Amino acid sequence: MVEKDDKQRKKATGEDGLVYERPREEIEVLPGVRRYQFISKSQHRMLTKHLNRIAMVIIALTLAFVIFKSVFIGTGYSVYCLEDRSCMRVLSQPEGENCPEYIYPVEMVVASRTADYERFIRQGGLRCIQCGNCTKWCILEINIPEIAARMQELSLEALDEGKISAELVLEHGFIDPQTREPLTPEAARARYSREGYDKVARLYEQMTAIIAEREEVQVAER
């Protein structure tokens, strides 16, 4: 039926002397950059209407889960993020107006939607000093420091409950932003004693205390 309609359309346009062009295979977002539209293109839909409906219900439920989860854990504003990466412009600003820890803010925000601790920590979320420099570049003015602060609280609780590993925190959470190497305790204390770093310093002390206590318990159990 679809083929027949398609042929009729081609024939009609031919009689009018117009050239019928097939739709482009994919949309060009920027010159040379193309994005595949898996959901919106008809040839990528399911084989039957019922399968298509089931797929749409699954997509709707997944979206609802992400929205409810972020609202429930206190990072609800993260669902507004368009992931357009305009906040990344903070990285190319002069010192004092840039991100002092070279964090990709968009990655922190996306991780906070579903409390993805691993992604949040690997992207430097624990080191966010909540200066707000990145928020100036967000076209929706999402309060990125507030989201980061809430995720830091949740990460601390998750570490205490054993949901995240000590290795993840020590190897990826508190690193030197230039070398990407983990900071020694002395280097961490020196770096986080600087002005503006009081929240990160407190978080570092709380997390390392939890890890030290856990290791003492493990040694005692042996």
| Positions in the binding site for ligand SF4 (CB under 6 A) | 90, 99-101, 103, 105, 128-134, 144-145, 148
Q: Which class for 2: exposed (0-12), middle (13-18), buried (19 or more C-beta within 10 A)?
A: exposed
The rounded distance, in Å, linking the Cα atoms of 11 and 87 is 50
- Pick the closer one to ligand SF4 by CB: 127 or 169: 127
The rounded distance, in Å, linking the Cα atoms of 131 and 100 is 9
- Pick the closer one to ligand SF4 by CB: 73 or 91: 91
- Pick the closer one to ligand SF4 by CB: 129 or 159: 129
- Pick the closer one to ligand SF4 by CB: 129 or 164: 129
For the CB of residue 70, give the shortest distance to ligand SF4 in the complex, in Å. 18
> Cα dihedral angle (61, 66, 68, 69), rounded to 10 degrees?
130
The rounded distance, in Å, linking the Cα atoms of 174 and 129 is 12
For the CB of residue 196, give the shortest distance to ligand SF4 in the complex, in Å. 9
- Pick the closer one to ligand SF4 by CB: 146 or 160: 146
Angle at 201 (CA atoms; ends 196, 124), nearest 5 degrees:
85
- Pick the closer one to ligand SF4 by CB: 87 or 159: 87
For the CB of residue 157, give the shortest distance to ligand SF4 in the complex, in Å. 20
For the CB of residue 46, give the shortest distance to ligand SF4 in the complex, in Å. 40
Q: Is 174 in contact with 182 (CB distance < 8 Å)? A: yes
Query: Please, how many CA atoms are within 13 Å of residue 57, restricted to the half-sphere of its CB?
Result: 6
How far from 13 is each of 3, 6, 10, 35, CA to CA, in Å?
15, 11, 5, 29
For the CB of residue 103, give the shortest distance to ligand SF4 in the complex, in Å. 4
Q: For residue 94, what is the DSSP state?
A: P
For the CB of residue 191, give the shortest distance to ligand SF4 in the complex, in Å. 13
Residue 50, classed as helix, strand or coil, is helix
